[in-house]
Amino acid sequence: MNKLLIISGPTSTGKTKLAIALAKKFNGELISADSRQIYKGMDIGTGKDHPKNIPIHLIDVINPNQTFSVVEYQKLAKSIIEEIYKKGKLPIVVGGTGLYINSLIDSQNQTYHIKPMPILRFFLNRLSTKWLQKIYSILDKKAFDGLNNSEKHNPHRLIRKIEIKLHVRTDLRVRSTTKIKINPLHISLTAPNPYLYQQIDKRVENRIKDGLIKEIEKLLKKYKWSDPGLNTLAYKEFKTLFVETHRVRLKNNKPINEDLILNQCVQQWKYNEHALARRQKTWFKNQPNIHIFNITSTGCYKNILYTITKWYNTE
RNA sequence: CCAGUGGUGGCCGAACGGUUAGGCGAUGGUCUGUAAAACCAUUUUGAGCAGGUUCGACUCCUGCCCACUGGA
């Protein structure tokens, strides 16, 4: 059966490094499952720091002003996986975007075939959460009452639910997208929060040194802050810095302390990365059929290798 | 040494003579076409120190300590 190896985990646990080593060992080809590295030109901030001679699929596929979503990811990734099978190699999916990974292994019960309706979204986007709740509860009272608190207050989620409810039921028969059966192994790395935070902070500092600010300047020549790509950690935190310095340059009054603002942005960025890591941990923690390894425990990599080898050698 | 200003929960920061805002952080969680997104919950009473006024003080008064600013 077609095997699919997945390496996931929160940010800065060393997924890519591990995946590269495994690709060499098992004759594999890498596919990124990273919702940010798909953007071209966002290199330092999203950490595309793997060796140049190792190709990874699904990095640099769109521009920061283009929208992208799981469904596009699913389509692209699936076709790449099939090609890799044709070559007789092992596809290795590596990344921290849990939703993207799930779209590859758990393809049942999905509403992905229901397309977004831009006009509808345009209107719903300017309504308050209260109104969205009202609309959804009118459309489907039972489903609305069944929502938990967090979903009830989440405008994004409510809009999509309304969209699904309103969609014209033409293609209700879900065309089965899975032509091939796969046998996945999901390996996920983790580490205690204090350790992760330390790694994250270190990496953040390095990215500043590597010229992140220059990269942002370059991006801003072509793109706007409101473009989807720029709503990303490592970029969005610096919006105040750029907006402030720009404003001051225009008015030319009261020199501001740029270093101070820069430091504040960097601190905010670190905090946001911490929160991201936490969210990723709670996501992966609850996935079925996942093998989680703590990278700070002894024999971790040996155990991973053992698990993979066992799976790799079965039919 | 004198004067002014100020000392609030892990941090920032309000209001107020009588149920202590809010933000950040931290922690746990939600999730199926924006996911590095968006969202939920928990962090329940602390006022520099010592007194005093008051039925009641974080809030008013006195002394001391500390910080910052200005003056000698």
Specify whether A69 is located in the same domain as A193.
yes
- What is the per-residue pLDDT for A155? 96
Q: Which nucleotide is nearest to A234 (CA to C1')?
A: B36
Q: pLDDT-derived band of residue A315, with 50, 70 and 90 as boundaries?
A: confident
Which uninterrupted H or E stretch holds A93?
strand A90-94
For residue A307, pLDDT over 70 is answered with yes
With a CB cutoff of 8 Å and minimum separation 6, the contacts of A312 are A3, A26, A90
- What is the per-residue pLDDT for A260? 80
Specify whether A223 is located in the same domain as A256.
yes
Q: Which nucleotide is nearest to A273 (CA to C1')?
A: B36
For residue A180, pLDDT over 80 is answered with no
The stretch A264-285 carries a mean pLDDT of: 96
Q: Which nucleotide is nearest to A277 (CA to C1')?
A: B36
Specify whether A222 is located in the same domain as A307.
yes
Specify whether A87 is located in the same domain as A128.
no
For residue A257, pLDDT over 90 is answered with no
Domain-terminating residue out of A166, A185, A201: A166
Q: pLDDT-derived band of residue A170, with 50, 70 and 90 as boundaries?
A: low
Specify whether A41 is located in the same domain as A150.
no
A43-47, Cβ contacts within 8 angstroms, sequence gap of 24 or more: A43/A215, A44/A207, A44/A210, A44/A211, A44/A212, A44/A215, A44/A234, A45/A207, A45/A212, A45/A215, A45/A216, A45/A232, A45/A233, A45/A234, A45/A235, A46/A232, A46/A234, A47/A203, A47/A207
Which range is least confidently modeled, A5-19, A232-246, A289-303? A232-246
Closest CA to A154 of A174, A191, A124: A124
Nucleotides in chain B with any atom closer than 7 Å to protein CB: 24-41
DSSP bridge pairs for A232: none
With a CB cutoff of 8 Å and minimum separation 6, the contacts of A227 are A64, A65
Specify the CATH number for the domain of residue A14.
3.40.50.300
Q: What is the DSSP letter of A292?
A: E
Specify whether A140 is located in the same domain as A265.
no
Separation CA A76–CA A71 (nearest Å): 9
Residue nearest to nucleotide B34 (CA to C1'): A69
pLDDT tens digits for A81-104?
999 999 999 999 999 999 999 999
Q: What is the DSSP letter of A236?
A: G
A260 CA, B14 C1': Å apart: 24
Q: Count CA atoms within 13 Å of residue A278 on its CB side.
A: 9
Specify whether A194 is located in the same domain as A269.
yes
Specify whether A143 is located in the same domain as A275.
no
For residue A175, pLDDT over 60 is answered with no
Task: State how many domains chain A has.
Answer: 2
Question: What percent of chain A stands above pLDDT 70?
Answer: 93
Show the CA angle centred on residue A25, arms to residues A192 and A296, nearest 5°: 15
Q: Which nucleotide is nearest to A34 (CA to C1')?
A: B36
Q: Phi first, then psi: what are they for A94, rounded to 5°?
A: -135, 130
A33 CA, B47 C1': Å apart: 50
Specify whether A202 is located in the same domain as A301.
yes
Do A273 and A200 touch, CB atoms closer than 8 A?
A: yes
Specify whether A52 is located in the same domain as A81.
yes
Closest CA to A106 of A5, A178, A9: A178
For residue A232, pLDDT over 90 is answered with yes
With a CB cutoff of 8 Å and minimum separation 6, the contacts of A85 are A2, A91, A180
A154 CA, B28 C1': Å apart: 18
pLDDT tens digits for A195-206?
999 999 999 999
**Locus of tokens 């060796």:** A51
CB-CB neighbours of A269 under 10 Å: 23
Q: What is the complex's ipTM, to 2 decimals?
A: 0.91
**Locus of tokens 């990365």:** A273
Work out the burial of residue A313: count CB atoms within 10 Å of its CB; fewer than 13 is exposed, 13-18 middle, 19 or more buried: exposed
Specify whether A141 is located in the same domain as A203.
no
- What is the per-residue pLDDT for A248? 73
A265 CA, B24 C1': Å apart: 13
For residue A177, pLDDT over 70 is answered with no
Specify whether A222 is located in the same domain as A304.
yes
Mean predicted lDDT score pLDDT of chain A? 92
Range(s) of the domain holding residue A89: 2-110+175-312
pLDDT tens digits for A30-66?
999 999 999 999 999 999 989 989 999 999 999 999 9
pTM: 0.92
A251 CA, B32 C1': Å apart: 48
